[in-house]
Amino acid sequence: MNYDEYLRRVPKVELHCHFEGTVRPQTFADLARKHGVELPTQDADKLYDYDSIYEFLKIFAMVSSTLRDQEDFARAAFESIQDGVSLGNLKYREMFFNPTLHTRRGIPYRTVVDGLVDGVRQAERELGVTCRLIADVYRQDPPEMAREMVEQVLEHRPDEVIGLGMDGAEAPDPPEKFVDAYRLAKQGGLRLTAHACEDAPAQNIATCLDVLGVERIDHGYHVLGDPELVKRTRDEGITYTVCPTATAVCYFDADDLTKHPIRQMADEGLKIMLNSDDPPMFHTDIGTEYVGMVNAAEWGPDRVRTFVMNGIDGSWASDDEKRGLRQGFERELSALDAELER
């Protein structure tokens, strides 16, 4: 077994991927046909071609516009988890979804969440993978809309929905804009995370931790601009859910992961774990993210093990589930290590 295969087969936790960004291009094309949505191209392979975060967000919205019936959400959610399993040995996931992308189009929140839960439960039954859901604030929404979204989430809340996050273009809309939504979510018992410092200075991480009360940071690359904050988040053991390819394409050097700030974050001792973000939209998958980033950073199996275990630690699974995951991962990793040495 070569190292690439080893990396694909390493058992994985994923804490940073967006449901709407995991829809297979073929499914996007099928749903567009089903609902009479016109696409920019008939070639499914070309549907996800673009070159900036702003163009990307447009496609993201277009994919969302083809998700309408409960079955659409269920199908895409199930397939998304299935891809994680077949392409990267996914074992546990916490997945974002953007309620207002759908409710603003007149799709009832219940349709969205009930469909996702159908797909997630099917994956649990058939694939043995637990997937939980995190409702994301869309940063370009007004604060009142984000607050109303949280009210809806708390009002109709299947067990799978465990947290609140925040995404969208970062630079124009700072995190403090959504303090009300976060306060309400915390009161309602949701766990908290937020995208920060993908495209804005380190200050946004401090705001997310101190003003919004988040427990994890999604991305976080520009923390490197503030040595004090690097030290603080290392000491506090804050988990950073990092995404190599998506951010390389949008913000850094797309072709060269050796220069990705993730490498330095790891060297600084920050608690990172690897994720796929919006895999088919960036022509990647969770296995490929490990292969690309680990080889670029020249990380050996010991560091990979650390990052994989960081995923379990940083997850919002129960203590019992974490224990079970750790035991299963230790077993699989030991077997893989033995195969790699042969």
Give the dihedral of Cα atoms 79, 81, 82, 88; nearest 10 deg: 140
Active site residue 198: yes
**Which of the following is catalytic: 94, 170, 198, 289?**
198
User: Residues 6 or more apart from 281 whose CB is under 8 A from it?
Assistant: 21, 48, 56, 59, 60, 63, 246
Contacting range for Zn ion; rule: CB under 5 A; set: 200-208, 277-285, 290-298, 301-309: 277-285
Least distance in angstroms from the C-beta of 74 to Zn ion: 22
Closer Cβ to Zn ion, 28 or 138, answer by number = 138
Contacting range for Zn ion; rule: CB under 5 A; set: 3-11, 140-148, 273-281, 325-333: 273-281
Residue with tokens 């399993």: 85
3-state secondary structure of 245: helix
Closer Cβ to Zn ion, 94 or 277, answer by number = 277
Closest by CA to 289, choosing from 303, 278, 305, is: 278
Q: Residue number with the shortest CB distance to Zn ion?
A: 277
Tokens coding 131: 């997937």
Closer Cβ to Zn ion, 78 or 282, answer by number = 282
Q: What's the rounded Cα separation, in Å, for the pair 259 and 256? A: 6
Contacting range for Zn ion; rule: CB under 5 A; set: 37-45, 86-94, 201-209, 272-280: 272-280
Closer Cβ to Zn ion, 70 or 100, answer by number = 100
Q: What's the rounded Cα separation, in Å, for the pair 107 and 307? A: 38
Closer Cβ to Zn ion, 140 or 327, answer by number = 140
- Name the residues that contact Zn ion, by CB under 5 A: 277
Enumerate the active-site residues.
198
